[in-house]
Amino acid sequence: MFMNVKKLLAGTKREAGFTLVELLIVILIVGILSAVALPLYLGYTKDARLAEGKALGGSASDSPVGMRAGQGFGQQLRAERDPEPRRPGRHGQHV
């Protein structure tokens, strides 16, 4: 009994392998899938590159503002408002 089941599952020597029609069908399916998937993939990568560029561009434009605030932007505004710096002891006033 086990010999018959083995013969049914494995087939005979003559039936081993794939036919040309089966291989052509597989190649056709792979070709159709790649024809659909490749343009979609390229579109996704283009969108991802644009988004990354926008993100890097936004952070690059924000960084001088942060740097300026870290270097004492308020002191610069004060200097523009009062061009002459106040020194301790000037006219008897301490600031």
Q: How confident is the model at residue 48 (pLDDT cuts 50, 70, 90)?
A: very high
Q: Which amino acid is at 90?
A: R
pLDDT-above-70 percentage for the chain: 46
pLDDT at 50 (0 to 100) = 94
Residues contacting residue 86 through CB under 8 Å, at least 6 positions apart: 95
Average pLDDT over every residue of 51-56: 90
For residue 84, report the phi and psi dihedrals to the nearest 5 degrees.
Answer: -95, 120
Is this model's pTM higher than 0.75 or not? Answer: no
